[in-house]
Structure 1
Amino acid sequence: MSRPSASRTTRPAAVLGIEGGATRTRAVWLGPEGRVLAELTLGGLNLRLVSGDELEALLRSVAAQGPAPAAVGVGVAGARSAQDRHRIAAVVGRVWAGKPAWVGDDLETALAAAPLGWQGPEVLVLSGTGSCCFGRDEANGRTVKVGGWGQVLGDRGSGYAIGLAALRETLRRRDRTGRWPTLGARLLCGLAMNDPEEWIDWSLRAAKAEIAALAAEVFRAAREGDALARAVIGEAMDELSADALACAHRLAGAQRPVRFVLAGGCLLADPGPGEALARRLRAGRPGSRVVRLETEGAVGAARLAWRLLDPARSRADTPEGGLGSAGGGLPEWLPKPTGLSPTEQRHPASMELDRMPLREAIRLMIAEEEAVVVALESQVPAIEKAIRLAARALREGGRLFYVGAGTSGRLGVLDASECPPTFRAPPDQVQGIIAGGRRALWSAVEGAEDDWAAGMNAVRHRGVRRGDVVLGIAASGRTPFVWGAIEAAREAGATTMLLSFNPRMAFRPGHRPDVWICPETGPEILTGSTRLKAGTATKLVLNMISTLAMVRLGKVAGNLMIDLDPGNRKLRDRAVRIVRELTGAKEEEAVAALEQAGWVVRRALEALGWRRGRRR
């Protein structure tokens, strides 16, 4: 770790800029004239790997080694979501209490570090180990991101892509010509290997950075005239320039001048790739400017902090999303609380649960679960409306989406996953969306339920449209992720519903869901643990909606599942019983009909002469 380079007693007023990366964290104090007063280097800041305490310890270490700043800017690699920014902003607020703060990601700080004087839209073109293009139009605050999907799905034109392409092309050249190219020898030397056969096992275990490091060998070979190396770089720059030009077009249309800012080791450490990319960008978008990013991102973070104090000194207004709360806070359409949710209140009968005799505690929990059924009785009209709307949507080609966080989200995913085997429903007809994504099915994802923007994005990315139904599940009724999903669904023209257990909230005008199911199940035996009564009620309501909607679609005869998908022995036995019950066939006849029908129960029934409504 390097120490700050200036005395604490002689510095003028300063702002602090911090950029956290995977391998190191840089802190820079800037004076009023933009001069670096002090700088500091600490360990890496991987937002996915550090706990809240570790993040706070790192930032307090920065605070202890420099002057108290007038404002703070923090850019962290990977801080893409409102959830990430909120998490960082909360820590920044504790460390530098009362100070204006900007929080964002390293793409925004890199653009802020670009040479001053440009007034129009600009695109950061980053190629290091990975790659990404990030555009921002300061005139309207609009941003566009292209790439950044990681080495399996993206990283076009990156060091990783160049290294991998070099390995593949040398092997392809050997396979097709029988000759070992000079580039292959360079790669073997760089890896301290003797034979390309060694690449097979190594490539299966190699880290992304190890493969990306081979780009340096490719660059050296290209400088010495190696045609294969030049071809590899050319193809990589074709890919990267296509992404950069697409980013510019999405950001500023076809006519407006754009400045491209080149960043990352592949474009700055060696002149060849950067010059090749610049030629392509100028040819693809005449009139564009191309500059190199010579200033580190921590300085960009400090510049963004200065803008909080004096916006007039900046090229334009500070980027959104990082001001103060680092995520814009809660949206105005979130319901307003009118009192403490019953699910958060203490239950008078369980105040001494920790000392209660076990049998008495069991009976208390059973009694409370029985109260759930009573609470649901008052919601029959709302549940009926939800079922009718869901059935109509499914009949007309729409889909049903459950959206929730934690237990609510898991129950939604569970109910959705049961529809294909039970009713032979297409896998996308009933879908579950859980805050935090797939990992949240078995592990808590910190802050996921607070990210309303992620809820909106989830619904948009699933392609929710007019004719679909989105049912938000939130015990408190105010989960931001769920409401982000509901709001995005409303904007898309879908039918919106809310299942909650808190009547103490007021909907904003124009934002009340089409259906609100709100059983008053009261306080939980274990205060706030909504996996208990609220969870039971949720499971019952979802059972009713999916089951009775499918009944109305004709997937049930009497109480038998005639669209059952018998994917195992138990279900095949059930299918045989269903066919026998509805047709009177003998067991061997039912089995034969099912086998002939590919174990499609309805088809087997029809082959045996069954028609709906006909009694055997």
Structure 2
Amino acid sequence: MTPAPSVTSPVLLGIEGGGTRTTVRLVDGAGTTIKAFHTHPAVLSLMTDRELRWHLRDIASRLPQRPQAIGIGLAGARTAADQERLRRATLRVWPGIPCVATNDLETALAAAPVGKKEIPRVLVLSGTGSCCFGRAPDGRTAKVGGRGHIIGDRGSACDIGLRALRAVMADLDHRGRMGPLGAAILNALMFNDPDQLIPWSVHAPKTEIANLAITVFALAQKKDALAKKILSDSAAMLAEDACACACQLTEDGAPVEFILNGGVMLRNPAFMKDVTRRIRKCWSKARVSPLQGPSVLGAVNLARGVLLNAAPSSTRQTSRVAAQASPALELPASIVDLAVLKDSPTEKRNPRSMTLDRLNVIQGIELMLSEDALIPPAILKEKRAINQVVAQVMLAFENGGRLFYAGAGTSGRLGVLDASEIPPTFRAPREQVQGIIAGGRQALWSAVEGAEDDAQAGATAMTHRQLGPDDVLVGIAASGRTPFVWGAIHEANRRGAFTALLCFNPAMRAAVKKIHDSAWQPQALIIPNVGPEVLTGSTRLKSGTATKLVLNLITTLAMTRTGKVISNLMVDLNPSNVKLRDRALRILVDLTGCTRDAAREALQSTGWQVKDAYLKLK
């Protein structure tokens, strides 16, 4: 039996979770294992907060004693907000325990022994997926790959399987028959005909595709030329990504330690040897070695470090963009302070709707519409600020610039909605007005946990969309304090764009005045006071309606002033269906007084571009 730790010996808990399983190890201060086990998979991005807590509570129930420090790394904990979410969930299960919460790449890197002299280290991981993750002695990080088997994971088992499938089908097409590798794949999948691969490949789970790598390695051992080429190409890609990761951390030629890990690498010595050879050829001062122990020990090492107040920063983002944009954003104190919500109408109870649950439907309709009638006067009081934004948007459009909206939840969805209506209404390029929502596409129809609290993600979105001095950003936040929106404003300011904040919390005016760093200050504030919501806190109601009205004002007036409207007619609409073509005909008849036949002929001759047809007839 494992001896119990002494009373003074610290008890450390390491947890590492991924798409296959979660590994748990409880050790004493001397490194002696008290308890070790595997449990269900855990990918943070695929778990709700409740599922995450259940998972951690299940782990806690299986431990013989309470840890004194915790290191936890889960796949999918990519951003600072992800890692803060993981830390909060961990502390709910083990309150008061020092904790380092990060991703499974950090834990694997921390599992490798550190030399006497610290140098940049790069983890080269190849399992079902693949990724290269590096850390410099000064804490900077870099990440290459790891974006899933469709658009990334070069040199992984899944990538090897996919390459093998494509290669054997090309072999069949070129030679009229399948070679040894193709026959082996059919055998592995228990198919009788190559055509059976077609429907299977459409729905094949990632693990089944990855399992084909076993067949490729087996055929390579038998000297099959096609299998050997696939593995050679995969080794070259892994080495290329590893060196690219190192380049982000130090100068070419400086000493770098490369640590190889993952089942594809560790279970196939010849392949690992090829990857090692290629890294050394690419990086002259490379030190290459496989990870010797289980990577969950890295989580234990992080726990030991936090107990000694010497843990490396584990809430730093580990993406390539974050490495370039470090240090991580810290919101101004006046914005972070939740006290700014205390006086916000968006959080207060509406005295007129205290009996909402007892009103009949007719009374409810009258109440809600009477509240909505308060919106236009409130917006009208902000006409000077709106005018300022419209003028900047007009200037942007005239100079080839763009208008961006950034928001979370309802605010983000309304920005995306307004942007999507611009191309058909004004025949404008799709990129001229763009909506950005925290959490991305999925957030359009379902909530994305923690997305709105990630300021760095807002900044990163601006970086990827390449905002510049000719552009305008309107940040939309009903309460005014959404970190994602503020991160976007900060980065847009840094890039020279014009920035505005649209919110419905008058307390934000004073909060913004307290900001001393101009990089955080919006250049325009649009803050209508529409009062408390009928349903307390439900900002999809009056705040949402007010948002839609303001966005309508900005884009409609800017487009009108830049020649997209004649009189009150949409002369640049895109007549993409029967209804809109009929409207185009009527617009042309109204503007010129010509017959419908003449209007139709002019439109057909100009490719149904109303303005061109109008100028032709005029």
What TM-score do you get using the length of structure 1 for normalisation? 0.93
Output the CA distance in 2 between the equivalents of 1:33 and 1:192. 50
**Paired position in structure 1 for 2:316:** 321
The amino acid of 2:580's aligned partner reads L
The amino acid of 1:226's aligned partner reads D
- 2:303 is aligned, of 302, 305, 313, to 305
**Paired position in structure 1 for 2:118:** 119
**Paired position in structure 2 for 1:43:** 40
Output the CA distance in 2 between the equivalents of 1:367 and 1:388. 32
1:61-140 matches, cutoff 5 A = 61-64=58-61, 65-117=63-115, 119-137=118-136, 139-140=137-138
Output the CA distance in 2 between the equivalents of 1:174 and 1:578. 58
**Paired position in structure 1 for 2:613:** 604
Does residue 331 (structure 1) correspond to residue 328 (structure 2)? The answer is no
Residue 513 of structure 1 and its aligned partner are, at CA, apart by 0.4
Output the CA distance in 2 between the equivalents of 1:180 and 1:540. 63
**Paired position in structure 1 for 2:593:** 584
Residue 329 of structure 1 and its aligned partner are, at CA, apart by 9.5
Does residue 353 (structure 1) correspond to residue 356 (structure 2)? The answer is yes
Residue 161 of structure 1 and its aligned partner are, at CA, apart by 1.6
C-alpha contact 2:602 2:616 (8 A) present in aligned 1: yes
SS of 2:240's partner is helix
Residue 380 of structure 1 and its aligned partner are, at CA, apart by 0.8
Aligned pairs, number: 598
* Structure 1 residue runs without a partner (length 5+): 610-616
| Deviation per residue, 1:149-189 (Å, 9 max, x gap) | 21111221111121222233233334334454222232233
SS of 2:452's partner is helix
**Paired position in structure 2 for 1:613:** none
Moved more, 273-282 or 27-36: 27-36
Query: 1:345/1:375 Cα in 2 relative to 1: closer, same or farther (>3 Å)?
Result: same
C-alpha contact 1:334 1:483 (8 A) present in aligned 2: no
Query: 1:384/1:575 Cα in 2 relative to 1: closer, same or farther (>3 Å)?
Result: same
What TM-score do you get using the length of structure 2 for normalisation? 0.93
Moved more, 43-52 or 467-476: 43-52
- 2:289 is aligned, of 265, 288, 291, to 291
The amino acid of 2:288's aligned partner reads V
Output the CA distance in 2 between the equivalents of 1:399 and 1:543. 16
- 2:22 is aligned, of 2, 14, 25, to 25
Residue 44 of structure 1 and its aligned partner are, at CA, apart by 1.5
Does residue 416 (structure 1) correspond to residue 415 (structure 2)? The answer is no
SS of 1:151's partner is coil
C-alpha contact 2:101 2:315 (8 A) present in aligned 1: no
Output the CA distance in 2 between the equivalents of 1:471 and 1:375. 19
- 1:396 is aligned, of 396, 399, 405, to 399
Output the CA distance in 1 between the equivalents of 2:333 and 2:493. 12
The amino acid of 2:423's aligned partner reads P
C-alpha contact 2:79 2:316 (8 A) present in aligned 1: no
The amino acid of 2:55's aligned partner reads L
SS of 2:249's partner is helix
**Paired position in structure 2 for 1:563:** 572
C-alpha contact 2:253 2:285 (8 A) present in aligned 1: no
The amino acid of 1:356's aligned partner reads L
| Deviation per residue, 1:373-406 (Å, 9 max, x gap) | 1111211111111111111111111100011111
The amino acid of 2:18's aligned partner reads G
- 1:276 is aligned, of 264, 274, 298, to 274
The amino acid of 2:367's aligned partner reads L
Output the CA distance in 1 between the equivalents of 2:614 and 2:583. 14
- 1:504 is aligned, of 497, 502, 507, to 507
SS of 1:419's partner is helix
Query: 1:328/1:309 Cα in 2 relative to 1: closer, same or farther (>3 Å)?
Result: farther
SS of 1:554's partner is helix
- 1:540 is aligned, of 535, 549, 562, to 549
Query: 1:52/1:172 Cα in 2 relative to 1: closer, same or farther (>3 Å)?
Result: same
Output the CA distance in 2 between the equivalents of 1:370 and 1:468. 33
Output the CA distance in 2 between the equivalents of 1:536 and 1:55. 35
- 2:377 is aligned, of 363, 366, 374, to 374
Moved more, 110-119 or 333-342: 333-342
Output the CA distance in 1 between the equivalents of 2:177 and 2:353. 80
SS of 1:170's partner is helix
Query: 1:560/1:198 Cα in 2 relative to 1: closer, same or farther (>3 Å)?
Result: closer
The amino acid of 1:275's aligned partner reads K
| Deviation per residue, 1:74-133 (Å, 9 max, x gap) | 100111123322221111111111111111110111100112326111111111111111
C-alpha contact 1:130 1:158 (8 A) present in aligned 2: yes
C-alpha contact 1:26 1:40 (8 A) present in aligned 2: yes
1:353-502 matches, cutoff 5 A = 353-502=356-505
Query: 1:428/1:57 Cα in 2 relative to 1: closer, same or farther (>3 Å)?
Result: same
Moved more, 125-134 or 592-601: 125-134
Does residue 255 (structure 1) correspond to residue 253 (structure 2)? The answer is yes
**Paired position in structure 2 for 1:175:** 173
Does residue 527 (structure 1) correspond to residue 536 (structure 2)? The answer is yes
The amino acid of 1:153's aligned partner reads I
**Paired position in structure 1 for 2:49:** 52
C-alpha contact 1:223 1:272 (8 A) present in aligned 2: no
* Structure 2 residue runs without a partner (length 5+): 318-326
Output the CA distance in 2 between the equivalents of 1:223 and 1:552. 70
Moved more, 493-502 or 48-57: 48-57
Query: 1:428/1:292 Cα in 2 relative to 1: closer, same or farther (>3 Å)?
Result: same
| Deviation per residue, 1:586-609 (Å, 9 max, x gap) | 111011100111000111011112
Output the CA distance in 1 between the equivalents of 2:529 and 2:503. 9
| Deviation per residue, 1:11-68 (Å, 9 max, x gap) | 9321111011222211112332334333222222132443322321221232231322
SS of 2:163's partner is helix
Moved more, 32-41 or 516-525: 32-41
SS of 2:44's partner is coil
C-alpha contact 2:45 2:77 (8 A) present in aligned 1: no
Residue 320 of structure 1 and its aligned partner are, at CA, apart by 4.3
SS of 2:374's partner is helix
Output the CA distance in 1 between the equivalents of 2:178 and 2:543. 67
% identical aligned pairs: 49
